[in-house]
Amino acid sequence: MSRTPYPRRPELAGILNINKPSGMTSHDVVDAIRHAARIRRVGHAGTLDPMATGVLLVCLDQATRVSQYLVASDKVYHAQIRLGQTTDTDDAQGKVIDQQLVPAHLDMETLQKVLASFVGEIDQIPPRYAAIKQKGVPLYKMARQGIDVQTAPRRVAIHAIHLLGWRSPDLDVEVHCGPGTYIRALARDVGECLGRGGHLTGLIRLKSGNFSLEETTELDEVLRLLQPQGQSIADILWPLDAALAGMARMTVDIETEHRLRHGQQVPSCLPDLSEGRPVMRRVYAADGTLVAIVRYDERSGLWQPDTVFDLRPSR
């Protein structure tokens, strides 16, 4: 028996910046919004663990097609790390598997030197309980089955770590990092570097790309606005191109727009190839509607549609 698909709701095509509640998975948040909005195409752009709070970007309808650009953006976190205890999940939700005494002489200067050693491009081993997959199976599922998986290190970028406070055995840090960085793993590794072990006890995502915690909306408020009798959600819905702020734009005429919508290459001004490869542009119709993301094809000297959007109202 097939399910009746939800009708298109192009007015909801956009990005929600939600302050994820503690205790919910990112998938739980997506499910709640999908049910309230009555649209099937809903996804998040960057997982937050259940314990964590802060910026969770949820893409609705056509906005799911730009989620990759949001996922690839830098992140900023406020993290709380407890030294002297190692857990099997690298956070406070796990079982303590080792405990060490934190020396009284451990001072801010020593901590700052250790934290500084993690700034730059580093090889990081993901936590055993992580959503990434090995041979098609999430690591956390194998860990729950008692399977000890040897995970290869991944190259990640940590741009800055600021020590905000230290009161033994707990330290507060702010971390500015690239995509794919596990703050749980950072907490574990900082503790190991100090020879005392450590785990994450609190995490708030302060920024994801250009989206900040100050601009978030509480999940309960989002769900209320999505109700049929609720007020318009337009005031908190970010347009698709908010995910493309770092990409240059160009406007095309009606004929070129028509060709792009049919997947055809089109001519336009030649790009400066020194800006890096691949060269991408966001394309707008004359009325300001986002039409496509195009990629420059050096062989043909034309622009190839990479992603085409349909933001026109339902007929």
CATH number (domain holding residue 282):
2.30.130.10
**Is residue 101, in this structure, part of any structural domain at all?**
yes
Cα 46 to Cα 150: distance, rounded to the nearest angstrom: 24
Q: Could you tell me if residue 315 is inside a domain?
A: no
CATH number where 96 lies:
3.30.2350.10
Q: Is residue 268 part of a domain?
A: yes
DSSP category for residue 214: G
Q: Does residue 277 sit in helix, strand or coil? A: coil
Q: Is the pLDDT of residue 59 over 90?
A: yes
Asked if residue 314 belongs to a domain, the reply is: no
Residue type for position 158: I
d(CA 43, CA 74): 19
Q: Give the catalytic positions in this structure.
A: 49
Residue 53 near residue 19 (C-beta atoms within 8 A): yes
Residue ranges with strand state E in 168-297? 170-177, 198-208, 211-212, 217-218, 237-238, 249-251, 280-284, 290-297
218 three-class SS? strand
Q: Is there a single domain that holds both residue 86 and residue 161?
A: yes
Same domain, 43 and 93: no
Residues 59 and 97 occupy one common structural domain: no
Mean pLDDT (whole number) for 264-281: 79
Pairing of strands 42-44, 154-167: unpaired
- Indicate the pTM of the whole model: 0.89
Q: Is residue 3 part of a domain?
A: no
The reply to whether 81 and 66 lie within a common domain is no
Kind of pairing between the strands at 53-60 and 170-177: unpaired
| Residues 189, 272: Cα–Cα separation, whole Å | 42
- Where does a domain end: 203, 233, 264? 203
Same domain assignment for residues 146 and 220: no
Q: Do 139 and 233 fall within a single domain?
A: no
pLDDT tier for residue 227 given thresholds of 50, 70 and 90:
confident
Range of the domain at 256: 247-308
Q: Structural domain tally of the chain?
A: 3
**pLDDT number for residue 2:** 42
Element (H, E) at 76: strand 75-83
Q: Is 11 left (phi over 0), alpha (psi -120 to 50) or beta?
A: alpha
Q: What is the mean pLDDT of the chain?
A: 88
| 227 and 262 fall within a common domain | no
For residues 143 and 187, membership in a common domain is answered with yes
Residue 283 within any structural domain of the chain: yes
* Same-domain check for residues 253 and 268: yes
The answer to whether 121 and 180 are in contact (CB under 8 A) is no
pLDDT score, position 136: 56
Judge if 37 and 114 occupy the same domain: no
Q: Are 80 and 97 members of one domain?
A: yes
pLDDT (tens digit, 9 = 90+) per residue, 13-33? 999 999 999 999 999 999 999
pLDDT tens per residue across span 108-146: 999 999 999 999 999 998 887 655 555 555 555 544 545
192 and 83 in a common domain: yes
